[in-house]
């Protein structure tokens, strides 16, 4: 197996693990804890599970107010997931594949929710008193955010080395004067 194939399989495995973790935690919130919309489960002073339904995409933007809009969001996010998959498969460095895998795994988790329920299940509630630095989110949202931050950081702070000149192994036939 080539190194590139191994990197791609690692990326797909990361995406799958994140998808499974996202769906497992949502199942725990809905079926294990049986939280109702708006209900919270205390974990620690700055963190709790609070069930919310997100009918939009990032930060609640583009809220789906009808079935047509719901399916349009499913289609749009599915196209984005396909684009991310193609991008991930074309990358050659593990450091570029991993953040795309985070985005893909998160996108798939949220697509499944929107397809199944009509909204995304959010429940992770980080707060400091009444101050919430983030909206209530889920593992898929965190994975997408981490992936995007890594891609942005790499594009801003990692300089790519120029490709090395190929080494000429043919004997030099030019005569010197």
- What is the torsion angle, in degrees rounded to the nearest 10, for the CA atoms of residue 171, residue 175, residue 176 and residue 177? 180
Q: Is 122 a catalytic residue?
A: yes
Tokens at residue 119, please? 């909204």
Q: How far apart are CA 154 and CA 158, in angstroms?
A: 5
Element at 168 (helix H, strand E): none
Of the candidates 130, 141, 168, 172, the residue annotated as catalytic is 141
For the chain, strand residue ranges (E) read 40-44, 47-54, 120-126
Tokens at residue 137, please? 């989110």
For 16-119, strand residue ranges (E) read 40-44, 47-54
List the beta bridge partners of residue 128.
Answer: 131
Of the candidates 122, 125, 130, 168, the residue annotated as catalytic is 122
Q: Is 31 a catalytic residue?
A: no
Cα 57 to its chain centre, rounded Å, is 13
Catalytic sites, residue numbers:
122, 141
């Amino acid at each position: 197996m080539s190194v590139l194939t191994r990197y791609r399989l690692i990326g797909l495995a990361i995406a799958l693990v994140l998808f499974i973790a996202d769906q497992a935690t949502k199942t725990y919130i809905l079926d294990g804890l049986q939280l109702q919309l708006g209900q919270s489960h205390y974990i620690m002073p700055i963190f709790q599970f609070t069930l919310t339904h997100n009918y939009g995409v990032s930060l609640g933007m583009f809220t789906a107010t009808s079935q047509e809009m719901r399916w349009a969001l499913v289609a749009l996010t599915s196209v984005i997931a396909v684009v991310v998959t193609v991008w991930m498969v074309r990358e050659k460095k593990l450091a570029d594949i991993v953040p795309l895998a985070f985005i893909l795994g998160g996108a798939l988790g949220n697509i499944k929710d929107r397809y199944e329920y009509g909204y995304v299940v959010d429940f992770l509630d980080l707060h400091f008193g009444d101050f919430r630095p983030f909206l209530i989110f889920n593992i898929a949202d965190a994975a997408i955010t981490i992936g995007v931050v890594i891609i942005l950081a790499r594009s801003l702070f990692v300089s790519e080395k120029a490709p090395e000149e190929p080494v000429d192994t043919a004997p030099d036939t030019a005569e010197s004067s």
